[in-house]
Amino acid sequence: MSTTEDGYMDMDLLRFTTAGSVDDGKSTLIGRLMYDTKTIFEDQLEAIEKSSKQRGDENVNLALLTDGLRAEREQGITIDVAYRYFATPKRKFIIADTPGHIQYTRNMVTGASTANLAIILIDARKGVIEQTCRHSFIASLLRIEHVVLCINKMDLVDYSEERYNEIVKQFTDFASRLQIKEMTFIPISALNGDNVVNRSENMPWYGGSPLLYHLENVYIGTDANHVDARLPIQWVIRPHSEKYHDYRGYAGRVAGGVFKPGDEVTVLPSGFTSKIRSIDRFDEEVDEAFAPMSVAIRLEDEIDISRGDMIVKPNNQPESSQEVDAMICWFSSENSIQTRGKYIIRHTTKTAKAVVKSIQYKVDINTLHKIETDLNIGMNDIARVQLRTSEPLFYDSYSKNRITGSFVLIDEFTNKTVAAGMIR
C-alpha cells in the first residue's frame, strides 16, 4: 500500500466509545483491535509483556495497554477516560475508553458526548445485566446513533448460537424503550480474536460482519446536522494592520447547517441581518462551510458582534430564551444539585449564570422509571430540571443538534464542572 496516495491522506474519522462492566473484557477488546491492526508497537508490547509477567498474569495482559495510570495498574481497574487511536487504510479511529464501574457513569457520558458510535460489551455468561441497561440508556440519552452490542466471551459458552439469540432477545426487549437509531449485534471472543478483526471459524452460524469491518463501513455521513445553520462566535479577528485595516472576521466552528458566500444571515441577539461577503479559512476563501469546520466569516455590513453571539439564517432560527428544560447528568461527589442553586452555564461559546427553578424527576437508569418522590440528585444521577439563565441562550433541542443542544454547569466556587445537560 502506498501511504502517500490520496486514499490514505483522505480518510474518514470515526469516534467511538466503549462501555462494559468490570471484567467484561473491554480493555482486552481494545488491546485486540490495536494488536490485530498492528497499532501496538514492539516497545509497547515488550513493556506490557514484562509487566504481565511481573504481575503473574498467564497471558500477555492487553489491558495494561490502556490502563495508563499507576493507580489503575495497581488496582487492575480503569479510572479515567483514556483516548486511543488506530487506523486502517479506510478509516482513522478515536476510541474513548470509559471505565465500567458504577461510580464512573460520568466518564461514559463524557466519552459518549463526542462519539458517533458506542460499543457495549455483554458477558455471554451473564447476559443483559443492570450495567448493560445503564450503558445503553446513556448511549440513547446522548444520542449516539450507532450502537454495537458485542456479546463477548463466546468461547466460554461453547460458541452457542442459542445463548447468543437469548441475549439478543433480552436486549431487544429492553431497548424497545430507548431511542437508538441503529443496533448491531456481534458475537465475539476478544481474548481469542473471534469476529474482532477476522471472521470466526467457531461461529459459522453468525452471518454478520466482524467488528472491525463494521467499524470501517458503518455510514456516518448524516450524523452531523446539515440543515439548521448555526455559527456560534468564538473570537473576532481584527488585525489592526495596514494591509487588513478594515478586516473583521467572525471566527467560530460551524455547529450546524451550511453557510455560503452571498447567504443572508441574522445575528443573534441583535437581530440585525446582513449578507456573507466571504468565508475564510486561513488565506483562502471557501465556497461553503458546514459542521465541524472552523472558519471566519466576513459580512457585507459592519455590525457589532462579539463572542457568544450566533450567526444563523433569517428563516431558520434557534430558540432564544432564558428558560431551559433539560436532562442533566450530575458529576459532583461533593454536593447535590439544589433547587434555587446557582451555577455558571456554558452553552456553545456563551457563558451565563443559571438558577435551578425546579427538579422534575430523577431517572432510575436501570429500569428507566421516573422517580418523583426522591429528588436528591447526587453523583451519576440523571434528572430532568428546569433552569432560568441570566441572559437568553440560543439553543436547539439536543435531539436536533448535539452542539447547540448541550451545556455544562460549573460550580461558581470550586470551578469544577458539575453537570452535563441536554436540552429537551
Task: Tell which phi-psi region holds residue 206, choosing left (phi > 0), alpha (psi between -120 and 50) or beta.
Answer: beta
d(CA 178, CA 197): 29
Q: Which of residues 185-244 bind other proteins (CB under 8 A)?
A: 221-222, 224, 226, 234-235, 237-241, 243-244
Q: What is the DSSP string of 19-32?
A: E--TTSSHHHHHHH
Which stretch in 74-82, 205-213, 260-268, 312-320 sits in contact with other proteins by CB under 8 A?
74-82
Q: Is 5 in the site for other proteins (CB under 8 A)?
A: no
* Nearest Cα to Cα of residue 14 among 114, 109, 108, 140: 114
Q: Which of residues 250-279 bind other proteins (CB under 8 A)?
A: 251-253, 258
d(CA 277, CA 132): 51
Quickly list H helices, 83-160.
105-113, 130-141
d(CA 161, CA 347): 47
Q: How far is the CB of 202 from other proteins (least distance, A)?
A: 30
Binding string, 153-192, against other proteins, x = CB under 8 A? ----------------------------------------
- HSE value, Cβ hemisphere, 13 Å, CA-based, for 261: 10
Q: Which residue, 122 or 329, has its beta carbon nearer to other proteins?
A: 329
Secondary structure letter of residue 124 according to DSSP = T
- HSE value, Cβ hemisphere, 13 Å, CA-based, for 409: 30
Q: Is 4 in the site for other proteins (CB under 8 A)?
A: yes
Q: Report cis status (omega within 30 of 0) of the bond before 292.
A: yes
Which stretch in 82-90, 123-131, 199-207, 309-317 sits in contact with other proteins by CB under 8 A?
82-90
Which stretch in 130-138, 161-169, 181-189, 402-410 sits in contact with other proteins by CB under 8 A?
402-410
Q: Is 87 in the site for other proteins (CB under 8 A)?
A: yes
Long-range contacts of 42-48 (CB under 8 A, 24+ apart): none
Q: Which of 25, 27, 30, 84 binds other proteins (CB under 8 A)?
A: 84
Q: Which of residues 277-296 bind other proteins (CB under 8 A)?
A: 280-283, 290-294, 296
Q: Which of 37, 52, 88, 114 binds other proteins (CB under 8 A)?
A: 114
Q: Is 92 in the site for other proteins (CB under 8 A)?
A: yes
Q: Which residue, 41 or 205, has its beta carbon nearer to other proteins?
A: 41
Which stretch in 4-12, 207-215, 358-366, 371-379 sits in contact with other proteins by CB under 8 A?
4-12
